[in-house]
Structure 1
Amino acid sequence: SDLNVAFRELSNKRYNKFSLEMEAATINAFKNADNMDKNHFSGWFVGIWGQYSNSPEIEEQGTTVSLKKLRDDLNSVMQEYKEKGKNIAAGHTQNFIKKLEAIIKTESEDTTVEQ
């Protein structure tokens, strides 16, 4: 019920993958958040997953697939918000998408460099 507390607790745990199940929970939590929490959501998320490509214990391929699905789902949510005139929610969603794209791009660059 309190996303700030939930993200704080999640940030203290270790993960080996951002799974499709985690993606589904993330998109659901974001959609159900109020605008104030939507505003902070992307920062909280990046705090946990922003540097995953620098962590050797993270399964990168599966994580990248799930992050791309989250980005695509957020694009759909943003379109719904725009159609309903929920411009503030759409703006917070667009901000989250931009941050996700930066994380995904960093991962793609890391993969390219390694090959």
Structure 2
Amino acid sequence: MSYGNNTNKLNLIKRRRAKIAKSFSDGINFKVDVEIDAEVTYTLKSAKDEILIDDRSRRPVLFRFESPHFEPTDRIYYKVSSDLIEEPPVNWNWRVGDIDYLLEIEDLENEAREEKDLSQLED
């Protein structure tokens, strides 16, 4: 590995660390993607509650868990002390933010559609 390549990697690491440090001061939330091997049951019912499709399959399912947004991030930390009167710790309840990237894909498709519509208006 050449010296120049190491320098580039070090600069990249420094830029990433600076970006992370800035995001912590601006506010931050965490997203964790977890893939599991799941047995999934699909049931599709009509308005009259008739079963139209009832299927079971085994496949990987990806869940995205999201933390609350912390702003500023010093609220993430909670110091426990008997003589210190503070507000209770921050709520660390995570939520499911997406499954199999369905919402993320939908957002990307909507953005692409909006860009296409705007470009057609400009023409």
TM-score, L = length of structure 2 = 0.26
Q: Which has the higher helix share?
A: 1
Larger radius of gyration: 2
Bigger relative contact order (CA 8 A; separation at least 6): 1
TM-score, L = length of structure 1 = 0.28
